Amino acid sequence: MYIVFTDYTVGKYNKRWVCVMERNYGLQPPIPFSFKSVAGFLLIFVIWQGGTLLWINLLHTLMPATHTGLPSLITLYLSFSFLIFGVYVVTRYFFKIPFCIFLFEGKRPDFRKFTMYFSWYFAALILYLLVDISVHPQAFVLHFDPLPWLGVLMLTAPLIFFQSAAEEILFRGYMYRMFRSLRGGAFCSIFVSSLVFSLLHGFNPEMLHYGIFGPLYYLLVAFFLGTVAYHTNGLAAPIGIHFATNIFNTSIWGYGTSTLENMGLQNVVYRHTLDMPFAFFGIFVIVISYGAFQFFKHKRNRS
C-alpha cells in the first residue's frame, strides 16, 4: 500500500487527488462513500428510469411497431443510454472526474482483457449448455434458422454490448468505487453492489417464478463479476463476461417464461422451461473454478 499524488487537468478543472492506492481495482479516482455519492446514485437511477419511461412512451406513440417484437427490444436496449448519461453527469459534475478517466482509470481500454474473458466465459457457457442437453435431452428442441439468426445477431449484438457495458459502468464502476472506501474494503464493496444488482434483477417476475434460486443466481453472478473486476483491475473483464452472458441468452438458447421470448430473437436451441437450480449449480462451478485459479495464480506468483 502506498501514497500516490495525481494531477488531472481537463478544461478549467485542475483537481489534485490524494489517495491510498492498492494493487487491485477500485480507488483511483476515488468516489468516497458520502451523502453526495449516495445522492449521486439516486440521481443516476432517476435519470435512467425516468429517461427510459419517457423514451419508451414517446416511441410507442410515434411508432406503434415498437410495442412488440424486435423493435420493442431495440427500443429497450437503446434506453440504456440514459443510464450511461446519468453516470456521466454525476461523475463529471459531482466529483469533477473526466468520464474517460472514470472508465479506464487514466489508461486506454483493455481490448485484450475484454476479448480473453469474453471468449473464456462464452466457452464455459457452451460447455454448460452441452452438459444440460446431455442430462436433460427431453427439455430441448433445435430452433435454428441460419439466415434470420445471423441477421438478428448482427443487428442486436452492438446493442447487447451497449446494455452490458452500461450495467457494468453502474454496478462495477460507480457503486463498486462508492463502497470501496468503507472499512470492509473490497469484500464489502463487492457484496453490497452485488446485493443491489440481485435486488434489481433477481426479484423480477421472471426470476421469482423459480423461487429463491432466481435472486440467489443473480447474487452469485454479481459477486463473481465484482471479484473479476477486483482481480483484473478494471471494467474490461466484467464487461466481457456480461456481454458473453447476454449474447448467449439472446442468440444461443431461449427458454420458456423468458421476458425476451416474444421479442423477435432467434436462437439455436430452445429449452421448454429453465431449470434454475441446475443453472445456479452451473454458475457455482464456474465461480469456484475461477476462485481456485486465482488462488493458485497468487500462490505461484509469491513463490
Give the tens place of pLDDT for each residue, 249-298: 999 998 877 778 778 889 999 998 888 889 899 999 999 999 898 888 87
Cα angle: 38, vertex 104, 227; to 5 degrees: 70
In this prediction the pTM is 0.88
Range of lowest pLDDT (8-12, 178-182, 235-239, 288-292)? 8-12
CB atoms within 10 A of CB 229: 28
pLDDT tens for residues 24-48?
776 677 888 999 999 999 999 999 9
Instruction: State the pLDDT at residue 93.
Output: 94
Q: Which of 240, 248, 244, 293 is nearest to 115 (CA)?
A: 240
Of 10, 33, 31, the C-alpha closest to 19 is: 31
Domain that holds residue 112: 2-302
Q: Give the whole-angstrom CA distance, residue 224 versus residue 291.
A: 9
What pLDDT sits at residue 19? 39
pLDDT of residue 203: 66
Average pLDDT over residues 94-103: 90
DSSP 226-295: HHHHHHHTSSHHHHHHHHHHHHIIIIIEEETT-TTTTTT---SEEESS--HHHHHHHHHHHHHHHHHHHH
- How far is residue 273 CA from its own chain's centroid? 24
pLDDT tens digits for range 128-152: 999 999 999 999 999 888 999 999 9
Query: For the chain, what is the domain count?
Result: 1
- Cell (9 digits) for 75: 427500443
Is 88 or 104 the better-scoring residue by pLDDT? 88
Q: What is the pLDDT of residue 183?
A: 80
In the predicted structure, residue 6 carries a pLDDT above the cut 70: no
Please give the share of the chain, as a percent, with pLDDT higher than 90.
57
What digits encode the pLDDT tens for the residues 204-228?
A: 766 677 778 888 889 999 999 999 9
Residue 3, phi then psi, degrees to nearest 5:
-95, 135
Proportion of the chain in helix, strand, coil states, percent, rounded to 5: 70, 10, 20
17 pLDDT band, cuts 50/70/90, is very low
User: Which of the 8 DSSP states describes residue 87?
Assistant: H
141 CB contacts (<8 Å, ≥6 apart)? 269, 270, 272
pLDDT score of 174:
94
Q: Name 14's bridge partners.
A: 9
Cell digits of residue 161: 454490448
Structural Rg of the chain based on CA atoms: 20
pLDDT of residue 303: 66
For the chain, what is the mean pLDDT?
A: 86
**Confidence at residue 26, expressed as pLDDT on a 0 to 100 scale:** 64
CA 110 from centre of chain: 16
- Identify the pLDDT of residue 202: 66
